[in-house]
């Protein structure tokens, strides 16, 4: 797991944590069900915490790593019974899953939201039932501060800003900063924090650079299949006007690369030679391999291994400790190119980590 940086405001969450802890102490013993299923038969068992995981799906390499990390951390040996409800990328299924876990009287709910909106009512039901909800990875957009107990996840807007800062620095390095640039954008699931933050950063950059032209923008839903489908369509309509593809995750980049190859074109950083420069997010194992090969020019990390941090949050709540309101995970940026070696975002300098095969071989996902 990456290091966790935290942002202040402990007191309010702490009070909620202590209150919930008191409520839970007075509640009946934990409900336990068949591992890995939200439909299991509930029985009481002392000493085991039942945790309902409202999962997004299995759309990407990143998501598989995230789900695996949760499953590996919340084992019976570690004192948990994990119930998983896979929403298969359907927001309405997630809301239903929260309600089902409330009805099952689980001890904690882990919520990995597909989209930010639509959470008021179901989170209020969990709150009224005294069940702490830990939101992670993406965010929920709610009016009340105490709608959930804790949040840990990515700063997707910063990820996008680092990515665009890399492109700016790369173009300057090549003396191309004043040249017109044709960009296509493959977005992630609409309404998800990852899509919102990464898209906002590109929009900001487009405003700063009037010579950059956004040729097209389509939803790739964070999947290889959809990424390929939209890239095929864009190539058919826009052909060699496409110089840069801003993909919102690695799987979309895999799909875009297939489409580029099948169209007889070449992905790579050499814009002057007519190559198509790909930008991606996640930095999963295969994404990094393609980045080392230059097929992806820059890959901005999104950290997926939440399991250990989530168990730590629950253990803190069990001890009645105060929790930070928000915790951002630290994330790196990778390129197979030597330059730029660092990027600047709003006065902050971020290193671009040079890739090596050894680093990729150590990557667990």
Closer Cβ to ligand AHR, 31 or 136, answer by number? 136
Distance CA 161, CA 202 (A): 7
C-alpha angle with apex 127: 126 to 129, nearest 5 degrees?
65
The separation between the first and the last C-alpha atoms of the chain, rounded to the nearest angstrom, is 12
Q: Is 28 exposed, middle or buried (0-12, 13-18, 19+ CB in 10 A)?
A: exposed
Closer Cβ to ligand AHR, 81 or 163, answer by number? 163
Closer Cβ to ligand AHR, 107 or 221, answer by number? 221
Candidates 178, 167, 181, 224; CA nearest to 352 is 167
Closer Cβ to ligand AHR, 74 or 281, answer by number? 281
Q: Is the peptide bond before 340 cis (omega within 30 degrees of 0)?
A: yes
Q: Whole-number minimum distance, CB 154 to ligand AHR, in Å?
A: 7
Q: Whole-number minimum distance, CB 179 to ligand AHR, in Å?
A: 30
Q: Whole-number minimum distance, CB 202 to ligand AHR, in Å?
A: 15
Q: Whole-number minimum distance, CB 198 to ligand AHR, in Å?
A: 8
Distance CA 115, CA 118 (A): 8
Q: Whole-number minimum distance, CB 283 to ligand AHR, in Å?
A: 10
Q: Whole-number minimum distance, CB 201 to ligand AHR, in Å?
A: 13
Per the CB < 8 A criterion, the answer to whether 255 and 228 are in contact is yes
Closer Cβ to ligand AHR, 38 or 114, answer by number? 114
Closer Cβ to ligand AHR, 281 or 334, answer by number? 281
Distance CA 329, CA 321 (A): 20
What residue ranges bind ligand AHR (CB under 6 A)? 59-60, 62-63, 137-138, 194, 222, 249, 281-282, 302
């Amino acid at each position: 797991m990456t290091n966790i940086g935290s942002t202040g405001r402990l007191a309010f969450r702490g009070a909620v944590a202590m209150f919930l802890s008191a409520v839970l102490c007075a509640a009946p013993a934990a409900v336990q069900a068949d591992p890995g299923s939200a439909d299991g038969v509930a029985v009481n068992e002392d000493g085991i915490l039942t945790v309902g995981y409202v999962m997004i799906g299995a759309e990407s390499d990143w998501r598989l790593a995230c789900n695996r990390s949760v499953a590996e951390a919340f084992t019976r040996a570690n004192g948990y019974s994990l119930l998983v409800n896979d929403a298969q990328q359907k927001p309405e299924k997630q809301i239903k899953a929260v309600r089902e876990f409330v009805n099952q009287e689980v001890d904690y709910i882990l919520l990995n939201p597909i989209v930010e909106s639509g959470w008021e009512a179901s989170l209020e039901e969990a709150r009224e039932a005294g069940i702490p909800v830990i939101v992670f990875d993406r965010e929920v957009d709610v009016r009340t501060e105490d709608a959930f107990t804790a949040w840990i996840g990515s700063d997707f807007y910063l990820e996008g800003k680092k990515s665009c800062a890399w492109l700016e620095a790369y173009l300057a390095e090549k003396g191309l900063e004043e040249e017109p640039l044709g960009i296509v954008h493959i977005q992630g699931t609409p309404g998800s924090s990852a899509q919102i933050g990464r898209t906002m950063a590109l929009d900001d950059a487009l405003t700063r650079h009037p010579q950059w032209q956004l040729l097209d923008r389509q939803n790739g839903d964070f999947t290889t299949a959809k990424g390929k489908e939209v890239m095929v369509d864009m190539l058919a309509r826009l052909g060699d006007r496409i110089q840069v593809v801003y993909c919102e995750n690695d799987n979309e980049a895999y799909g875009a690369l297939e489409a580029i190859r099948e169209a007889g074109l070449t992905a790579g950083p050499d814009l002057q030679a007519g190559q198509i420069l790909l930008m991606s997010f996640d930095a999963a194992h295969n994404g990094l391999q393609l980045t080392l090969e230059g097929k992806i020019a820059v890959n901005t990390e999104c950290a997926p291994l939440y399991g250990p941090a989530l168990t730590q949050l629950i253990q803190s709540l069990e001890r009645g400790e105060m929790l930070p309101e928000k915790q951002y995970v630290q994330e790196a940026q990778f390129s197979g190119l030597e330059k730029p070696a660092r990027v600047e975002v709003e006065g902050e300098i971020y290193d671009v980590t040079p890739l090596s095969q050894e680093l990729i071989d150590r990557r667990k996902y």
